Amino acid sequence: MPQIDTSKVSRWDLHGREYVVHIRRTGLQRTIRCATCGWRTGARFLPWLKAQEHLTRAHQATVDPSNRRVPSAGPPVPDH
């Protein structure tokens, strides 16, 4: 049974719309496909980087939803 692992990169644009690029491994290559516009390409290395680049250039989607937790100005850290 062949192993197919898929992953995705999702970014939001400044209007809060989500864009997803799917990355699928096929042998040595990885196929990258944008769920929004149908763009696709292949990459042997760093497919996530290509996905990000596409999202930025084509959709101006630069906000990483997994990176939204901003260290808040919460309770002060106690000093020793």
> What single DSSP character describes residue 26?
E
Q: Which stretch binds Zn ion (CB under 5 A): 7-15, 30-38, 61-69, 72-80?
A: 30-38
Which residue has the CB atom at the shortest distance from Zn ion?
34
18/25 with CB nearer Zn ion = 18
Q: Is 20 in the site for Zn ion (CB under 5 A)?
A: no
Residue 60 Ramachandran class (φ > 0 left, ψ -120 to 50 alpha, else beta): left
Which of 8, 10, 18, 36 binds Zn ion (CB under 5 A)? It is 36
Q: Is 46 in the site for Zn ion (CB under 5 A)?
A: no
**What is the number of other CB atoms lying within 10 angstroms of the CB of residue 54?**
23
What's the closest the beta carbon of residue 41 comes to Zn ion, in angstroms?
A: 11
| Distance separating alpha carbons of residues 30 and 17, to the nearest angstrom | 26
